Amino acid sequence: MALHLGIDTSNYTSSLAIYDSKSGEHFKKERPLEVEPGSRGLRQNDAQFLHLKNLPALFDELFNDIDIAQISSVGVSAWPRRASDSYMPCFLQGVFAAKMISASLKVPYAEFSHQEGHIASGIISRERFDLFEKEFLALHLSGGTTEILHVKPSNAAFDIERVGGTKDLNVGQLVDRVGVMMGFPFPSGKHLDDISAGTSHDEKIKTAKKGAYFNLSGYENMAKDLFERTNDPKIVSAFLFKALEETLSGAIECVIEKYDCKDILLVGGVMANSTIRSGLMKFPGAVFCDLNLCVDNAVGISYLASSV
């Protein structure tokens, strides 16, 4: 048996994936959680209910494509990060489903963090399997995470230390707040990225940074002020993404000076943003997750499950 099942129930996406350890191929099934128009996110009890609605249909689709008897292990995202204080109820739906399938098929079960899944997805999307065996830096950007990480190999998947990042708002959270403020649907990242292409601005960017750590809440106020003055979402979006790119670049430079790591893996949904992605390409060791696997998915979890 060579198929390994991964399950991830994040705050905005229900996702399943299969990794075939014999062929090295993977495929995924996923469905976003519905967010009410005008809302800036989901409450945890709503996210749990939506996963409960999504998962049966996703499993039906998945099991129509594979021989379930060929599944030899099951992995699941059980927490946001592998830390004692990291917990979100939305992951319980995935854990419940994974334990039921593991017990029914009598195959090994393993828990990983959502963050480890993103890191593994980035590695396999670029076929940089050497990163499973050595130290590297990672930048994880999403609606709920803005962290610079020092990553080491570990029997549990990875040994991860936070060495930089936000001290208030997350990058994705900031982008969505600004987007909803300007009348765009949640999540707003793709909409703002599309309209900002080729747009310039004359705003002075003021960063609130100390070493590799920074504050982002000031950019929300600056974006609101700019929108009130210009009523132009293109200019606001261009300003916001350039400000974020400069802040992140400065923080990464501080970390590179401290750690002797040549590779920087860039993962998470916000890494699909064209301005941020383009600006961070200046780092020689940058390894960008494939756009198809930047957003929340279970592909990395299915790969990690293959080692159980």
Q: Rounded to two decimals, what is the model's pTM?
A: 0.94
Residue 135 falls inside a structural domain: no
CA distance 272 to 187: 13
Residue 281 falls inside a structural domain: yes
Residue 154 falls inside a structural domain: no
Please return the burial class of 300, using the count of CB atoms within 10 Å of its CB with bins 0-12, 13-18 and 19+. Answer: buried
Residue 152 falls inside a structural domain: no
User: Can you list the positions of beta strands (E) in 142-232?
Assistant: 146-154, 157-166, 208-210, 213-215
Which pairs from 275-278 meet CB under 8 Å and 24+ separation? 275/193, 275/196, 275/238, 275/241, 275/242, 275/244, 275/245, 276/141, 276/241, 276/244, 276/245, 276/248, 278/245
Contact 138, 151 (CB under 8 A): yes
Residue 1's pLDDT is: 64
The verdict on 300 and 273 lying in the same domain is no
The verdict on 175 and 226 lying in the same domain is yes
Contact 72, 35 (CB under 8 A): no
Q: Using alpha carbons, select from 213, 205, 295 the residue that is nearest to residue 252.
A: 213
**Structural domain harbouring 232:** 164-288
Residue 159 falls inside a structural domain: no
Residue 140's pLDDT is: 98
The verdict on 253 and 299 lying in the same domain is no
Indicate which CATH number applies to the domain containing 50. 3.30.420.40
DSSP secondary structure, 73-104, as one string: EEEEEEESSSSTT---TTHHHHHHHHHHHHHH
Per-residue pLDDT of the chain (308 residues), as tens digits, is: 699 999 999 999 999 999 999 999 999 999 999 988 777 778 999 999 999 999 999 999 999 999 999 999 999 999 999 988 899 999 999 999 999 999 999 999 999 999 999 999 999 999 999 999 999 999 999 988 999 999 999 988 999 999 999 999 999 999 999 999 999 999 999 999 999 998 988 888 888 888 999 999 999 999 999 999 999 999 999 999 999 999 999 999 999 989 988 899 999 999 999 999 999 999 999 999 999 999 999 999 999 999 98
The verdict on 112 and 189 lying in the same domain is no
Please report where in the chains the tokens 């599944």 appear, as a residue. Answer: 71
Residue 42's pLDDT is: 85
Residue 264 falls inside a structural domain: yes
Residue 84's pLDDT is: 83
The verdict on 177 and 86 lying in the same domain is no
The verdict on 75 and 176 lying in the same domain is no
The verdict on 41 and 113 lying in the same domain is yes
CA distance 63 to 90: 23
Residue 106 is classified by DSSP as: T
Residue 143 falls inside a structural domain: no
When divided into structural domains, the chain yields a total of 2
Neighbour tally for 155: CB within 10 Å: 6
Residue 137 falls inside a structural domain: no
The verdict on 168 and 283 lying in the same domain is yes
